[in-house]
Amino acid sequence: MSSPLQCTVPPIPPNPTFILSNPSGDLDSTISSYSLSSLIPNSVPVLNYRSTDVKLKPDSLKALELHPIDKHPLYVDDFFRYCEVESEFNIILVDHNSLSFTSPHSPSLYSKMSSRVIKIIDHHSPSNSHSHADIYLEGVASCCTLIYRKDMENVYKILVAITILVDSNFLSPTSGKTTEKDISVITSIIEDLGPQYQEIIYRHAKEVNDAKFSTEFWKGLTKKEASRIDYKEMKVEGVVVGVASVLVELESYKGGEEEEVEVDCLIIGSCVINGEEVVRELEVVEGKNKEVSEKVREWLDSGGGLLQTRRKEGDDLIWRQENAKGSRKVLMPELEKIFKD
């Protein structure tokens, strides 16, 4: 099925307004960008990642497969090319409030783009960037809540509602995210579309949410692709260790092609839920600095601090965690300790 996420360069109107999503390119950011673009003449949604990374966005793909729209986005590298050459354009940031990219660009291009930021709509803490822009920040569960307008086309209303439900954990009062405003937007959309949409929207939101956890999705990626989905870096004393989280057994990546690691060492942590049991395992992939990987392996052999690790039986490269609550939040500071000493 062809999806608007998979298109190449769309026709760009003269003096365009680019609606730029954040570099994580998550569902909220993507739907915010598309929806706002549907309301602003001569605007183009910009997805802040490479077109080849589309396959790493299963939730956005699922949402747009369920509710296709007639809008073609610009991907980050084509956006850079346009901004380098042209000068008549404006930028609106959605779902972030400080211009940022993971794709390389020159400092002069950055200042050119920065000077064109005219408006910001976001729900994160303010960064005090772009003080010349018209800034609208509010701490709701989803940026889509702030984008919603009663005069949107129905398909955008549905996509907005799905995103708000996913971001607020289905308006859960205990998620710590849901606000009155998120609830009132959902209520207004359902009132507007008719009560039969309540069930459809909730069911589709669940499908979209589940797409991220689908084993089929994770198993279709190479180890390197999987490592980029949920990735953080620990930098201490000049050492850089990448820590990636995946939601499928590490075993499923065995036998893939050797892929180069850009940091000193890469740790891939998997979290798999088998019925009631949470299984966490770690793999250390050698990067630019062999000594760093060695140090991490030795540390894991000696029990891995709070993680309580031991080598997996019959496997030389994988460690099993006894502490199933030892998420990346626990791992990162523990890891810092071994490189600080």
- Calculate helix-pair angle for 328-340, 290-301, nearest 10 degrees: 110
Residue 122 engages Mn ion in binding (rule: CB under 5 A): no
Q: Residue 94 interacts with Mn ion (CB under 5 A)?
A: no
**DSSP secondary structure string, 19-47?**
EEPPTT--HHHHHHHHHHHHHSTTEEEEE
Nearer to Mn ion (CB atom), residue 143 or residue 244: 143
| Residue 28 engages Mn ion in binding (rule: CB under 5 A) | yes
Return the number of the residue (92 or 282) whose C-beta is nearest Mn ion.
Answer: 92
* Residue 157 CA, distance from chain mean position: 22
> Which residue from 291, 283, 248 is spatially nearest to 266, judged by alpha carbons?
283
Scan for tokens 């907005």, then name that residue.
160
CB atoms within 10 A of CB 295: 19
Distance separating alpha carbons of residues 339 and 289, to the nearest angstrom: 13
Q: What share of the chain is helix, strand, coil (3-state, %, to 5)?
A: 40, 20, 40
Q: Measured from the CB of residue 159, what is the shortest distance to Mn ion in angstroms?
A: 14
Judged by CB under 5 A, the stretch of 50-58, 88-96, 103-111, 148-156 that binds Mn ion is 88-96
Residue 141, beta-bridge partner list? none
Q: How many residues bind Mn ion (CB under 5 A)?
A: 3
> Considering beta carbons, is residue 47 or 266 the nearer one to Mn ion?
47
DSSP conformation class of 149: -
- Applying CB under 5 A, the span of 5-13, 139-147, 183-191, 313-321 interacting with Mn ion comes to 139-147
Quick one: 32 or 293, whose CB is closer to Mn ion? 32
- Residue 178 or 270: the one with the smaller Cβ distance to Mn ion is 178
Take residue 23 and report the two structure tokens written for it: 């570099």
Query: Smallest distance from the beta carbon of 279 to Mn ion, in angstroms?
Result: 30
Supply the minimum distance, in Å, between the C-beta of residue 26 and Mn ion. 7
In the numeric block, which tokens belong to residue 39? Answer: 């309301």
Q: Are 31 and 69 in contact (CB under 8 A)?
A: no
- Least distance (Å) between residue 200 CB and Mn ion: 23
Taking CB under 5 A as the criterion, which residues in 141-180 touch Mn ion? 143
Nearer to Mn ion, 209 or 293 (CB): 209
Query: Among residues 135, 96, 132, 99, which one has the least CA distance to residue 114?
Result: 99
Nearer to Mn ion, 37 or 309 (CB): 37
Residue of the chain from 30, 31, 80, 95 that contacts Mn ion (CB under 5 A): 95
**Least separation in angstroms between CB 141 and Mn ion:** 8
Residue nearest to Mn ion (CB): 28
Residues engaged in binding Mn ion (CB under 5 A): 28, 95, 143
